[in-house]
Amino acid sequence: MGNMTSAERVMRVLRREEPDRVPHFEWLIDKRVREALCPGCKDHNDFAVRMGHDAVLVSPRFETERTGENLFKSEWGYVSQLGAEEHGIEVQSPIQTMNDFDRYTPPDVHIPERYTAIAEAVAAFKGKKAVGVHLNDVFSLPRYLMGMENLLLAVAMDPDLVKALVNFSVDINLEMAREVAALDVDFVWTGDDYACNYGPLISPESFRDILYEPLCRVIGGFRALGLPVIKHTDGNLWPIIDMIIDSGIACLDPIDPQAGMDLAEVKNKYSDVVALKGNVDCAQTLSFGSVADVVEETRAALRVGAPGGGFILSSSNSIHSAVKPENYMAMLKTLEEYGAYPISV
């Protein structure tokens, strides 16, 4: 088959084909881990390049304004609080009622400067590494604009407001997708989480009523622009997984083992329609296990996920601040040793 570029490798996987070796990249690698392994690296993509990842990841730029200790207000109008991780959680949100929604003015997503970093990534890496852009689908933006607790209450108490926010999310993310598609990026990934370890955050019935059709519309819109979608959502997806896959995603991530998502079962049921990304356990093995534990679990993920192609090896969510740097390196070295096709683990 010959050596492929990283870009070729990732795009073959998204077509559920077999590349020369299993690719790897992560959505998030905490600064502490980055600095331990690559002292002086500037940012996530500098780390990705130095570590040989197969994709670089970029996002449209929206400004934040500091409003208090560890508090930052986004152009979208919500306030996030930073903790131990590099990403905060929203603590104040601008929309609680339909009147709030009717008065809400979103930021202008067509300002060219929002996409400068994306254009620079395409110029630097197109054809060499896959260039992925983070957009949202149907859940994260409504959560930011209402707050998680209020959003979940509104699913039962004010579903019309939730539907309005969900359709707003679809429309505005498709506007951003048109901007990034014009820059010739390779894929979109959406990080909207729908579930926790015990199951979906809303019932399967509410998911179908409120989220399913808009999810199909936004994924279909991305695809129409030539942008295959890697859909991230951890948690127990079994009650809603058919709806997620039926939306037309190219790849499902991260097949969360802590939530009872078995990689072999998902592979057996869905590998004819969707690629998979995952799933070395970052909650336990990468954070608290030994190097030997990581090697064993990485080999198991390759043994199950890689045959026939359509598989990207990664953590079961992200390389967060509790992950041991030496364990992440053990995962990468195991991939290097056993990740070439034909797979023999």
Q: What is the pLDDT of residues 172-227, one digit of tens each?
A: 999 999 999 999 999 999 999 999 999 999 999 999 999 999 999 999 999 999 99
Share of the chain above pLDDT 70, in %: 99
Q: Tell me what pLDDT residue 139 has.
A: 98
Q: Tell me what pLDDT residue 282 has.
A: 97
Write out the residue range of the structural domain in which residue 159 sits.
6-59+111-338
Share of the chain above pLDDT 90, in %: 96
**Span 304-313, average pLDDT:** 98
Q: Tell me what pLDDT residue 2 has.
A: 65
Q: Tell me what pLDDT residue 332 has.
A: 98
Residue 166 within any structural domain of the chain: yes
pLDDT digits over 265-275, tens only? 999 999 999 99
Domain count of the chain? 1
Q: Tell me what pLDDT residue 170 has.
A: 98
d(CA 317, CA 285): 12
Residue 97 within any structural domain of the chain: no
What does DSSP assign to residue 17? -
d(CA 25, CA 11): 13
Q: Which residue do the tokens 């983070």 mark?
A: 134
Instruction: Quote the distance between the C-alpha of residue 237 and its chain's center.
Output: 15
**Span 309-332, average pLDDT:** 97
Residue 345 within any structural domain of the chain: no
Residue 105 within any structural domain of the chain: no
pTM above 0.75, yes or no: yes
pLDDT digits over 141-170, tens only? 999 999 999 999 999 999 999 999 999 999
**Span 55-67, average pLDDT:** 97
Residue 223 within any structural domain of the chain: yes
Q: Tell me what pLDDT residue 83 has.
A: 82
Mean pLDDT of all residues belonging to the chain: 97
Dig out the tokens for 246 from the structure: 């039926």
Residue 155 within any structural domain of the chain: yes
Is the distance from CB of 81 to CB of 70 less than 8 angstroms? Answer: yes
Res 84 pLDDT > 80: no
Residue 16 within any structural domain of the chain: yes
Residue 96 within any structural domain of the chain: no
Res 24 pLDDT > 60: yes
Q: Tell me what pLDDT residue 86 has.
A: 76
Res 1 pLDDT > 70: no
Dig out the tokens for 57 from the structure: 């990841």
Dig out the tokens for 218 from the structure: 């936004």
**Span 225-241, average pLDDT:** 98
* CATH for 285: 3.20.20.210
Helices (H), the chain: 6-14, 31-37, 44-51, 98-103, 116-125, 140-146, 148-157, 159-181, 204-206, 213-224, 241-246, 263-270, 285-288, 291-305, 325-338
